[in-house]
Every structure is written in structure tokens, then in C-alpha cells.
Amino acid sequence: MSAHSIGIIISSTRDGRFGERVAQWISELAAGRGDMVAEVVDLRDYPLPFYETPTSPRFAELDTSGVRAWAAKMASLDGYVFVSAEYNHGPTAVLKNALDHIYQEPARKPAAFVGYGSVGGARAVEQLRLVAVELGMVPLKSAVHINMEPFVGLAREGKTFEDYPYLAPAVAAMFDDLSWYAATLKAGREATDQRSAA
């Protein structure tokens, strides 16, 4: 079985963000598996304007170098893990803005979520699932939620992820689903492409 390319997307770009630490931990856990090759995708590396173009990316490519690079990265991946902060009961504006700049690239690919903060980022994750559906992604049931106790311990009290041993099995379950969907959906996309080329 070939390894699938998975992007671990950090949803925050602000100074002192906790998401970078989470993304690194998720990446390290992925490295121990033979069914995926994960890379951290940092929105800081894809500076995008505030979305205000007259045409949706559904109908026409948005032609700026930053958008092209972001779209190409999303197109190159077989699946995604969104490491999601929660701001005001929702996802971060910078992630929503980035997703608004693309359309075709993530279609028919699986999306998994790791939320953190109040109620484990669950409200942000729920909203991101709706956005994922609109972009043609397949949002997965299995998710990881880092609630306030481990969040405070990790962010302020010098704790490590090993101090919360129940988190790693949740990541493993999420990766199992993500790997299955990445393989299944990739086979489906390739079969569709072959039919279209015939």
C-alpha cells in the first residue's frame, strides 16, 4: 500500500499560537505510520489577501501568486488534518479566508480535525465540517479534542502530551479513518480521471 500525502494545517498565524505545538505532535505521531506521509502546512507561508474578489474560485482561478501557491499545495495532498483553534465559538478567520480562496483542489478528499481550547474546539470543528462539505471534502467523524485541562497544562504548566495518555489513541483512531478514506477516495478520483480520459 502506498503512503498517502497528508497536510496538517495550522489554523492560526498569530504570535504565540498553540497550534504549532499541536501540529508538530500530530506530525510526529504520523511519522510512526507506514500508510501516510504528513507535512505541516503553515498558513504563515501562504499570505493571502482578504477575500473580496468579484469572481468565486468555483468559476475562475484566482490569479495571484499567493493564491496559486496555496491552491497548488492543497491540490497536491490526498487528505487533511485541520488543527483548529476556536475563536468566539467558531474557526479562525485566517483559515476560513484561506478556504474561501480555493474550490476544486480539496474536492473528494478527506478532512480530519484536531480542535483545542474551550470544549476542545468542538464548535469551530463543527463549523469547519460544514465548510468542508461545501468544498466537496469528506469530513470524518473521528476527531481529537484537546479540552481546557490539557490545554492549560500544555500551554501554561509545562506539561507534555505524554501527561495526557488518552490523547494519542484518539489520534490513532483519527489516522486510521483518514488513511482508509484517503485510499478509497484517491482510487475513486483516479478511476474518474481514467474514464474522463478514455
Q: What is the pLDDT of residues 47-101, one digit of tens each?
A: 999 887 777 788 777 667 789 999 999 999 999 999 999 999 999 999 999 999 9
**Which domains are seen in the chain, by residue range?**
4-197 (3.40.50.360)
Residue 59's pLDDT is 78
**pTM of the shown model:** 0.94
Distance of CA 5 to the CA centre of its chain: 12
**Residue 193: all three cell numbers together:** 480521471
Give exposure, 128-151, as e/b (b: 16+ Cβ within 10 Å).
bbebbeebebbbbebbbbbbeebb
DSSP 155-181: HHS---GGGSTTHHHHHHHHHHHHHHH
Nearest to 118 by CA among 158, 146, 143: 146
The Cα 180–Cα 182 span in angstroms is: 6
CA torsion through residues 85, 87, 89, 90, sign: negative
Q: Read off the DSSP letter of residue 9.
A: E
**Residue 123: all three cell numbers together:** 464548535
Under the phi-then-psi rule, with left for phi > 0, alpha for psi from -120 to 50, and beta for the rest, what region is 102?
Answer: beta
**Residue 195: all three cell numbers together:** 474514464
Q: What is the pLDDT of residues 26-58, one digit of tens each?
A: 999 999 999 999 999 999 999 999 887 777 788
Confidence of residue 12 (pLDDT cuts 50, 70, 90): very high
79-84/4-10 β-pairing: parallel
Q: Do the Cβ atoms of 8 and 174 come closer than 8 Å?
A: no
Q: What is the pLDDT of residues 104-122, one digit of tens each?
A: 999 999 999 999 998 999 9
Task: Show Cβ contacts of residue 70 under 8 Å, excluding neighbours closer than 6 positions.
Answer: 46, 48, 98, 101, 102
CA torsion through residues 50, 55, 58, 62, sign: negative
Q: Do the Cβ atoms of 186 and 78 come closer than 8 Å?
A: yes
Residue 1's pLDDT is 59
Nearest to 171 by CA among 151, 146, 148, 153: 146
The Cα 46–Cα 48 span in angstroms is: 6
